[in-house]
Homo-oligomer: A and B are copies of this chain.
């Protein structure tokens, strides 16, 4: 059994827990948290809940530590710190900072295998982008996200005065998808690719017109998009906007000679954090096997042969799935 630890028990940590408990070749050994250990209520069977600062003491008890802290606040610390004494997997998702983050993990992972950015984007979508580009070099990649909840954009709305609750859905624009599927290789602005739909519960005394204006003009987050703001009641918010669906598409259209070729990959997810947790669990298995083969250092999904992800041996995999 591959012994798994989870560092950080938010939504993704709970997703990893569910995936590990469902696997037949992995067992969850401990959950590490920086919150009070008595505030954590596990979804699955009872295992030790320990302060994250004591994690290193467990290095002989855990084969792979799955890092479920936030990319913006936790992983810059957790990545190199845990990679120095555990095999790790994370889903570090600040695309622009991956090379810098990877370098710090690489420096620490001299005797461990550290697979970073193993979610669905970065992660599965990156694999499709890289594979598609290699196979169809004369072509263009397009990535669409949604329809789904963007936590970053939801948080940005919540930071506005007078907002009690808020959620933001990114919605890909069908005309853009259709053009890409037809192989037209359009140049698309941010506005032409995605809509932003916001549902907001305002404080009773709040100025709704002002909130809406602050949202739609917010730089980086909303100003470059067509954004709709719908004010709803708290009951409706709780009834209809508590789920975390997501998904998206990667399409590459290209040519070989004069022939059009189109590759498309899509995800339709009822639970984004559970799907991300399932990916991380599969990469935890890969980290364990790669470490056993002495393949140490910082790795990405582009470095891991797919056979490492499966609980089946290679011959079975080749026979059943090739």
Most buried by B among A19, A181, A302: A302
For A126, the chain B residues whose CB sits under 8 A away are 321-322
Most buried by B among A99, A305, A319: A305
For A, the interface residue count at a CB cutoff of 8 angstroms equals 66
Task: Indicate if the CB atoms of A129 and B321 lie closer than 8 Å.
Answer: yes
Docked pose: A102 CA to B315 CA in angstroms: 10
Binds B, one of A202-210, A221-229, A255-263: A255-263
Interface string of A243-286 (1 = CB under 8 A from B): 00000000000001101111111111111001101110010010
Interface string of A14-37 (1 = CB under 8 A from B): 010011001100000000000000
A188 interface contact, C-beta 8 A:
no
Task: Indicate if the CB atoms of B307 and A19 lie closer than 8 Å.
Answer: no
Which residue of the partner chain, among B99, B259, B265, B266, contacts A315 with CB atoms under 8 Å? B99
A117 interface contact, C-beta 8 A:
yes
A267 to chain B, nearest CB (A): 6
Task: Indicate if the CB atoms of B264 and A134 lie closer than 8 Å.
Answer: no
User: Contacts A130-B306, A271-B257 hold; do A322 and B22 have CB atoms under 8 A apart?
Assistant: no
Task: Indicate if the CB atoms of B130 and A282 lie closer than 8 Å.
Answer: no
Give the B-binding residues of A (Cβ under 8 A): 15, 18-19, 22-23, 95, 98-99, 102, 117, 122, 124, 126-131, 133-138, 141, 181, 256-257, 259-271, 274-275, 277-279, 282, 285, 300-307, 309-311, 314-315, 317-319, 321-322
Given A130-B306, A259-B270, output 9 extra A-B contacts at Cβ < 8 Å: A98-B318, A130-B307, A130-B310, A259-B271, A261-B267, A261-B270, A263-B266, A264-B268, A302-B318
Closest A-B pairs by Cβ, 8 of them:
A134-B309, A259-B271, A259-B270, A256-B274, A302-B307, A262-B268, A134-B282, A126-B322
